[in-house]
Structures are given as C-alpha cells and as structure tokens.
Structure 1
Amino acid sequence: MSHTDTPLPARLLMLVLDDDLDAALAAGLMDYAPWPGDARLLPDHPELPARLLQAQQQVQRAWDARTRYRQRAQRLARRAAERDARRAPPAPTPEQKPALPPAAAAILARAKAKAAGKLP
C-alpha cells in the first residue's frame, strides 16, 4: 500500500491527540514523513503534519534522554566499582603470606622458639 492508499497520518494524529503514544509508535509514528495534501486529510486539523512532526521530536528527545540517563547510570556504577576496588585491600595470593606487623612477628618468633624448646 502506498502512502495515499491509507489514512495513516490521520490515524497517527488521532492517536497522538488521544495521548496514546505507544499505539502511535506501534502504528509507525517515527516513520512518518509529511506528504503534500496531509494537511487536508482531516479538515478540522490542518496542523496534522506539524503536530506529527512535533510528536516525533518529543519522542526522540525522550529516547535521547533515556539513553543519556542509562549511560550516566553505567558511568556512575563503573566509577563506584573503580573507587571500591581502590579502597579494598589487595587480596593475598596463595603463595604469598600476608606480612605481620613487627610486634606480632616478634611474639610469633618467641612462641615458635619456646615451642621448639629454645626458651625456658
């Protein structure tokens, strides 16, 4: 069917005027391009082409805003993960034992020596 065989612009306008953008999108709102004579399809609505183009722009702005919001959320999550990774102590590797503070190392050495019978 060609553009002139169906009153698609008129149907789109009715959906837009009824504030049913989901149905208008499903019917092809974002594919609408004005044709000569669209303004005369509905005599009571000569603003049909302009109103449909305006609806397209509003939807596109909303989609762009949603994309920016999602990108921002991903960016913030990535930054938080990086920040948490910088704050977390490094995990000890299996072959590397964590270093003891000097006082704890001295106590451990004395305990080992006493257990070995080197201290009274």
Structure 2
Amino acid sequence: MMHDATTLPARLMLLVLDDDLDAALAAGLMDYTAAPGDEAVLPGHPELPARLLHAQQQLQRAWAARERYRQRAQRLARRAAERDARRAPAAPTPDLKPALPPAAAAILARAKAKAAGKPS
C-alpha cells in the first residue's frame, strides 16, 4: 500500500502511540523528517512531529547504549581471558632432550662444583 506525504506520518504516529515500534521502524520511522503541516495530519495530535522525532532519538540512544554494552562485554571477556591465561600454570612439557649437550652439561656441573667449593 502506497502512502502519500500526509498518511505516512499519521500511520507512524498511530504505531508509536500503540507502542508498536517494530512496525513503526518497518514503516519508515527512522526516515521521517518533520515537514510543514505535519501537526495537522492526525486530528487531535498536534505533537505528531515532536513525538516522532522524540521516538527516533530514543531509539538512537537505545541502539548506541546497546552497542556500548556489547563492546564493554567483549572487552571484559577479553580481559578475563587474558587474566586466566596469565594465571594458568604452564603446560607440562613432554620429556625433552637436555638443552645442553652432555659434554657442555658436564663442564657446567664441574664449574658449579668448583665455585661452590671456594670460600666467598
């Protein structure tokens, strides 16, 4: 069904008054711009332009708040994961070959023994 310039604001206003914001959004609420004469398109509702613009602002604020909440939740989850990763004990390593070849390990052991035997 096509709407002309006067019936669309009236339809949007009726949907907003019925608190059917989903239908109002589908009908084009966020595209509404006030035009001269919109105060008179729905008898008894001279507040139509202000009410529709207010509904737009409320939705934009709610969407922005929801986005900030999602970003905060993601940030907190990331921080918790980083904290848990720092707290987690190191994974046990499978039996590995010594880092030093046997000859180097023997030299190091002798140097440590020699250093321990000397008085400080």
Aligned-partner SS, 2:84: helix
Superposed CA offset, 1:10-46 (max 9, x none): 0000000001111111111111111111111112111
Match of 1:82 in 2: 82
Q: TM-score scaled by structure 2?
A: 0.72
Instruction: Supply the distance in 2 between the matched residues of 1:16 and 1:72 (Cα, whole angstroms).
Output: 31
Structure 2 residue runs without a partner (length 5+) = 98-120
Structure 1, unmatched stretches of 5+, are 98-120
- Helix, strand or coil: the match of 1:52? helix
State the 4+ residue runs in structure 1 displaced beyond 6 angstroms: none
Match of 2:72 in 1: 72
Secondary structure in 1 matching 2:45: coil
Query: Alpha-carbon deviation of 1:80?
Result: 0.4
TM-score (norm 1): 0.72
Change (3 A) 1:96 1:88: farther
Q: Alignment RMSD, CA only?
A: 1.9
In the alignment, does 2:46 pair up with 1:40? no
Q: Percent identity?
A: 79
1:40-99 CA distances to partner (integer Å, 9 max, x unpaired)?
1112111100000000011111111111111111011001000000001222455747xx
Q: How does 1:1-120 map to 2 (within 5 A)?
A: 4=5, 7-94=7-94, 96=96
**Aligned-partner residue type, residue 46 of structure 2:** P
